[in-house]
Amino acid sequence: MALAIMSSGGDAPGMNPAIKKFVDYVYKMGEKPYLIYDGLEGLIDNKIKPVEHRHVAGIMHRGGTIIRSSRSKRFFEYECRQQAYNNLKEHNITGLIVLGGDGSFRAMEKFSSEFDLNFVGIPSTIDNDIYGTEYCLGSDTALNVIRDALDKIRDTATSFNRAFLVEVMGRDCGYLAIVSAMISGAEVCVIPEAEFAYAKEGKRLREEVESGRNYVLAIVAEGSKQTSKVHQWLQETIGLETRVSILGHIQRGGNPTVHDRLMAFDFTITAVNHLLAHKNSNKMVAYQKGEFKLIEIKEVVSGKYQLPQRFLDAVNLLD
């Protein structure tokens, strides 16, 4: 059998460890591995190449993805999906692994519904917002990048009578924001999933400032779209000069953590084993309650990720 792997959508730390394990394990199982470069665009343009061990040597510590990625508008066109399928057939590829997030899996659900495709997805996004899985590849590394930035920002925050507001990524999900707030000791956290009590929190912080507090660390999720509002509130209501840091794409970079490398190992082994045992699979590997499971891709794309209640509760426990 010939199996292929590709990255799609935003890159995530842990993709390279998954790619290396894919190549090594497929060879170990006596099959032929292929790499698809440039994501869905590369699938359409036939950027599909056989791979040897030497092509993936020394990539475990690298962030991003050596096979690159893309977001493809052309894949919405049936003719392009037909071409993508023809390219897979040309190389006799019978199984496909996709490292990606919600948008990538929606594209693959459409693709697999039209063609005879043996597909397994590995949830790979720092946002950790894929329905059906408790963990997505890359989120632990992103949290460690944020943690490092917040520790440094707090160092300078304690030297001035100032508030520091840090905007983190996550699309419409507050996972990165609330976990970062919990582990950094932030005084304020604003996420899309919970209404922020400006009046209540304002009263608390003003009292603390009057009692001697000389700085505040606030974490705001980009999906809340409240960075400017929180900035103004800290300055005008709390009375602290406020600096804003938008971390941006540094959150996608960096060496994959031990946890992400281990998760990449298990996600990939589970995906390859499933492809070798099945001919018509349309599934995603999910991590649930300490175990790896396969769930239907239709279930994944039709569901909506919900932030665990313990994280929602934690928003009210920061004070």
Please, are residues 10 and 134 in contact by the beta-carbon 8 Å criterion? no
Question: What's the rounded Cα separation, in Å, for the pair 296 and 26?
Answer: 23
**172 is annotated as an active-site residue:** no
Contacts of 51 (CB under 8 A, 6+ apart): 23, 33, 34, 35
The conformation of residue 234, written as its DSSP 8-state character, comes to I
Q: How many Cβ atoms sit within 10 Å of the Cβ of residue 262?
A: 14
Report the Cα–Cα distance between both ends of the chain, in Å, rounded. Answer: 57
The one-letter amino acid code at 25 reads: Y
Angle, helices 258-277 vs 15-28, to 10°: value is 40
How far CA 10 is from CA of 40, 64, 99, 230, 247, in Å, comes to 12, 9, 10, 28, 16
CA–CA gap between residue 42 and residue 45 (Å, rounded)? 5
The closest alpha carbon to 106, from 135, 142, 72, belongs to 72
Non-local (6+) Cβ contacts of 28 within 8 A are: none
Catalytic residue among 127, 129, 140, 260: 127
Point out the residues that are catalytic. Answer: 127
